[in-house]
Amino acid sequence: QVQLVESGGGLVQAGGSLRLSCAASRGIFRINFMGWYRQAPGKQRDLVARITISGVTNYGDSVKGRFTISRDNAKNTVYLQMNSLKPEDTAVYYCNAIDSGRPYWGQGTQVTVSS
């Protein structure tokens, strides 16, 4: 099992930046897929970004060119750098890991972008 704890959310003005962190309770060097999802009120949870063990990334269409996912296996941490934030980026952001085919989720961190 792995526990995930997100941090770094908050309130920011449109055009600003935030960096989210996801700290894992154990080593992530063998966890193939780690990623970020988000869920706005009344909407489904959608993929924001995902990174594989070899560093291959993919992004949701709405964040391409603005967000960057990275992982630091030595620190058991995954990051999401969010630039040029828009009000429509407002959501709860969840860290996700898929280990041996089983999904794990963090508790989420709120990101609010004001116009």
Cα distances (angstroms) measured from residue 112 to each of 8, 34, 85? 12, 23, 9
Q: Is residue 56 within 8 Å of residue 49, measured between CB atoms?
A: no
CA–CA separation, 79 and 72 (whole Å): 8
Reported confidence tier of residue 28, pLDDT bands at 50, 70, 90: confident
pLDDT, one tens digit per residue, over 65-98 is: 999 999 999 999 999 999 999 999 999 999 999 9
